[in-house]
Amino acid sequence: MTLCAGADARAGGWVLVLLKGGHLHAMERHRTFPDLLSRAQDAEVVTVDVPLGHDDPDGVKNKGRRACDISARRFVGPVADRIDLAPPPVLFTYPDRSQAVREATAKGWPTPSERLWSLRERMEEAQAAAQVDDRIVEVHPELSFHALLREETDRDHLVRPQATWDGLVERLGLLHKVGLRPARSFGGLGLVTPQDVLSATVTAWSALRVAERRALSFPETGEIRLWC
């Protein structure tokens, strides 16, 4: 049976969801990405929800914006702002976020969000691993949920953000439609947020789609792409 892994980055480490044969197999917390990869060593695809690269690192080609982020924003349409624009990597070398934001603003680049800034170590871990492991691909949970929505309903976009109760319940319902039912019985996730659990689960769903050669990619070609 095909084993696939979805990884959601959080300030304290990672949430890992493993699917085996399209069904939930394990849900776990891991402190480091190498630890997570050790657990997912037999997975055909490992999806992560942090930037793995940048096609305009110097900010001269497209004002520091990645083509994959722009393409993904078009796909989700009226809720495009839920897809962060990953800023040029140099901004993450600044000693504090306020300085990075000032520099980005001065140059007309995307600014590092609070979430991405808090996940700098997670990004470094995943990027280093992706250099030597071609199973690792980048996803965005909101993009994946919109792909799932379009596959299972006749709607185009999710009105409520995942952080709201309505948004959380709706996304959980979408996962249920494809037989994915995150539950406490899996154990090991009691201290993570519901959003982390949902994000890791839908990224694992995208990993399965990549493994089965039925995933969408944004853009359709190129070295830096978002999959769902």
pLDDT of residue 190: 72
CB 165 within 8 A of CB 190: no
State how far the alpha carbon of 94 is from the alpha carbons of 85, 98, 101, 182, in Å. 18, 9, 10, 38
pLDDT of residue 188: 65
pTM of the model: 0.94
If you search the block for the tokens 């069904």, which residue do you land on? 23
Q: What confidence score (pLDDT) does residue 156 get?
A: 92
Q: What is the pLDDT of residue 186?
A: 65
**Cβ-Cβ contacts under 8 Å for 84 (sequence gap 6 or more):** 69, 110, 113, 115, 116
pLDDT of res. 189: 72
81 SS3 class: helix
- pLDDT computed for residue 1 by the predictor: 84
Mean pLDDT in order along the chain per 10 residues (228 residues): 96 95 95 97 98 93 96 96 95 95 96 95 97 98 98 95 95 97 72 92 98 97 95
> Running DSSP on this structure, what letter comes out for residue 192?
S
The domains of the chain, with CATH numbers, are: 3-53+131-227 (3.30.420), 67-126 (no CATH)
Cα distance between residue 37 and residue 43, in whole Å: 9
Q: What is the torsional sign of CA 106, 111, 117, 119?
A: negative
